[in-house]
Amino acid sequence: MKHEVTANHAAEFKKNQKVLTAIGDETRQAILMALIQGQQDPGMRVGEIKEKTHLSRPAVSHHLKILKEAQIVSVRKEGTINYYRLDAKSKLKLLKNLVDQIEMLLSQCE
């Protein structure tokens, strides 16, 4: 049984690898905080994120790409304008499940 639990948790960590990597970077954390504080509808433009984070436009774009690939941030296009916001169907929910499982294991050890 213990081996099975370990394998299941290893699988959960693997499912969360992109999310953990994406949110582990301080620059991306700053972008996420800007998005949390910003307007969710329609979202924020790169220039607005740049102003809030004091990052260069290329840096913001690079980090947004990583957050999009991790399915934490979504983009909505209106013509040539891109609006970024936290993804309502975000993979962050998977991360919450992982944390819940770890907490359950820890409570069983007490």
For 14-50, write each residue's pLDDT tens digit. Answer: 888 999 999 999 999 999 999 999 988 899 999 999 9
- Residue 17, Cβ density class (10 Å: 0-12 exposed, 13-18 middle, ≥19 buried): exposed
Rounded to two decimals, the pTM is 0.82
Q: How far apart are CA 37 and CA 100, in angstroms?
A: 26
At residue 62's C-alpha, the angle toward residues 15 and 20, to 5°, is 25
Which uninterrupted H or E stretch holds 85? strand 81-86
Beta bridge partners of 75: 84
Pairing of β 73-78 and β 81-86: antiparallel
Architecture of domain 2-109: Orthogonal Bundle (1.10)
45-86: per-residue pLDDT in tens?
999 999 999 999 999 999 999 999 999 999 999 999 999 999
Tell me what pLDDT residue 35 has: 95
Q: What's the chain's average pLDDT?
A: 88
Q: DSSP state, 76?
A: E
- The model's confidence at residue 110, banded by pLDDT at 50, 70 and 90, is low
Nearest Cα neighbor of 16 from 86, 105, 96, 106 is 96
